[in-house]
Amino acid sequence: MKNKLKQQGKHITTMKYCVTTVLMPDNILYVGITEEDYGQGITVSTHNNENETEQACKQYSITHNIPLFEEYREEGITECIMQY
């Protein structure tokens, strides 16, 4: 996905991408990319393009030993997959 633009009236602003940590229902802290700043302690960093954000997210995951959002699986979904 290329850098998106949002048009607000006559102004065009570049979308910001955020590296964000979230405590999921499995009680594990995950890190991933959001398009919204959730505040200090939750938003780790902000970036102007998706590639830069992906690199920062992966580095944060490795440095802090925190899994990525994409690794999160709800128990019901995981159990169904394991049955097949």
Rounded CA-CA distance 44/29 in Å is: 13
The model's pTM: 0.69
Whole-number pLDDT of residue 21: 95
Whole-number pLDDT of residue 84: 45
Rounded CA-CA distance 10/2 in Å is: 22
CB 45 within 8 A of CB 56: yes
User: pLDDT by residue (tens digit) across 35-61?
Assistant: 888 877 799 999 999 999 999 999 999
Percent of the chain with pLDDT over 90: 56
Whole-number pLDDT of residue 81: 47
